[in-house]
């Protein structure tokens, strides 16, 4: 890789993934579709407002989708798109670095 100059695509990806909670939310959803409160259960320090904001952001950039099932009561689940699922190698590398060095 050419490290001698910055790459705008890397810059953009890094900014997106670098937002607080984003790396945790994506990790949770790699386990499969989850409801709002199921995501919260794995990240209890994150506020509802924060999770709502991050979900909107990740939805607007095509990393996750919101599925609404017309049941009673209505069931809403969040799932990764292909773009989101493609982040698995990133998450895995962070995990293995964390296991070695944290």
CA distance readout (Å), 96 to 18, 84, 89, 101? 18, 19, 10, 9
Distance of CA 1 to the CA centre of its chain: 26
Query: Segment contacting its own copies (CB under 8 A): 23-31, 50-58, 68-76?
Result: 23-31
Distance CA 76, CA 24 (A): 20
CA distance readout (Å), 56 to 7, 25, 74? 26, 12, 19
37, 70, 72, 99: which one binds its own copies (CB under 8 A): 99
Query: Segment contacting its own copies (CB under 8 A): 15-23, 52-60, 64-72?
Result: 15-23
Q: Does 76 bind its own copies (CB under 8 A)?
A: no
How far apart are CB 7 and its own copies at their closest, in Å? 7
Q: Does 97 bind its own copies (CB under 8 A)?
A: yes
| Closer to its own copies by Cβ: residue 73 or 98 | 98
Q: Does 46 bind its own copies (CB under 8 A)?
A: no
Using the structure block, give the residue that is written with the tokens 């705008």.
8
């Amino acid at each position: 890789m050419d490290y001698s100059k910055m790459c705008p695509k890397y810059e953009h990806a890094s900014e997106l993934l670098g937002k607080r909670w984003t790396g945790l939310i994506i990790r949770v959803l790699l386990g499969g579709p989850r409801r709002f409160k199921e995501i919260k259960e794995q990240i209890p320090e994150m506020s509802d407002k924060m999770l709502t904001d991050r979900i909107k952001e990740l939805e607007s950039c095509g990393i996750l989708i919101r599925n609404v099932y017309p049941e009673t009561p209505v069931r809403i689940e969040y799932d990764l798109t292909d773009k989101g699922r493609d982040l698995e190698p990133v998450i895995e590398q962070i995990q293995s670095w964390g296991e070695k060095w944290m």
